[in-house]
Amino acid sequence: MADVEQQKVSFERDGNRLVGHFYTNGEPARAVVVTGSWTTVKEQMADHYARRLADAGFATLTFDFTNFGESEGEPRQRESPRAKIDDIVAAARWLAARDDVLGETVGGLAICASAGYMAHAITRGAPIASFATVAAWLHDAGTVGEAYGGDQGLAERKRDGEAALRAFEEHGEIRYVPAYSEDDPKAAMGEMVKAYYGDPSRGALPEWDNRFAVLSWPEWLDFDGLRPAPAITVPTLMVHSDDAAFPDNVRRFAAALGGPNEIVWREGSQLDFYDQPAQVEPAIHIASGHFRRTLKRLAGKERMEPCR
């Protein structure tokens, strides 16, 4: 197999140019779009998985979501589930349309919070025929408080977010807090994620802007990652751990899926699944097997001729 090459690519979604990385060994291949956690850029966990899937023989795409990284969109660092769902639909359509991608559908691998986004994207027409998640973060209204200090924590964040949204809509002011800080209580993420987002050798990369637009809170906290499960009929694989985020929600999501599915339980924390070999390498092996079994092997873009 030829060496994997990383190509910088771009595509448009609603007038914004989104920038990505396309990984290929130069031969036509089945393809997978890979997405990472909230607030992140492609160079973090998404590229980490995409390159390894490419080593396993797939063509893969990562990209910066609207408002993040090298992609366009304002306000910067706005975590908008609605926008990210639309971005995934556009990315999957762009990837499936490439001449060097086999078949007219692709696979989708979502890590952490983008699992909920990709689930919604599948139900909204993304040409994703096979779905896999790793350490899926799937919250709904009944469970989101577990991550943010219960009812009081939720109320404070929603109040801050609503005030920030009014400031933006009325005056164009954008209020920011750190995406990660171990000592700022207003930060989007705190001490528990220090091992990844506080380490320059792991998640604290130069490409990542450690800011969070406060106006994001209401939409993010009201987002329901579990809701689309019954409408998902494509084969679905979930790699998770009881020490990762919301394991009971992963069980609920899988139980509600409308198609064939499997959960593979592993060991490790949420952050371990982002980049640690003991978690990543088995996850890649499991996911690549899933995609080989469930993505149809088609020659180029040929369609069946109609009967005459």
pLDDT single digits (tens) 86-102: 999 999 999 999 999 99
Check residue 243 and give its pLDDT: 98
CA distance 300 to 302: 6
Check residue 1 and give its pLDDT: 56
Check residue 302 and give its pLDDT: 43
Number of H helices and number of E strands within the chain?
A: 9, 10
CA distance 100 to 120: 27
CA distance 149 to 158: 12
Residues of the chain with pLDDT under 50: 298-308
**Secondary structure letter of residue 37 according to DSSP:** -
CA distance 156 to 142: 17
Beta bridge partners of 128: 106
Check residue 280 and give its pLDDT: 98
The two three-digit tokens of residue 191, written as one number: 């001490």
Residue type at 64?
D
CA distance 18 to 34: 14
Question: Is residue 91 within 8 Å of 61, Cβ to Cβ?
Answer: yes
CA distance 99 to 169: 42
Question: Is residue 181 within 8 Å of 187, Cβ to Cβ?
Answer: yes
- Domains (range + CATH), the chain: 5-141+224-294 (3.40.50.1820)
CA distance 15 to 206: 27
**Helices (H), ranges, the chain:** 45-55, 81-96, 114-123, 150-171, 194-197, 217-222, 247-256, 272-275, 277-294
**Cis peptide before 218, with omega less than 30 degrees from 0?**
no
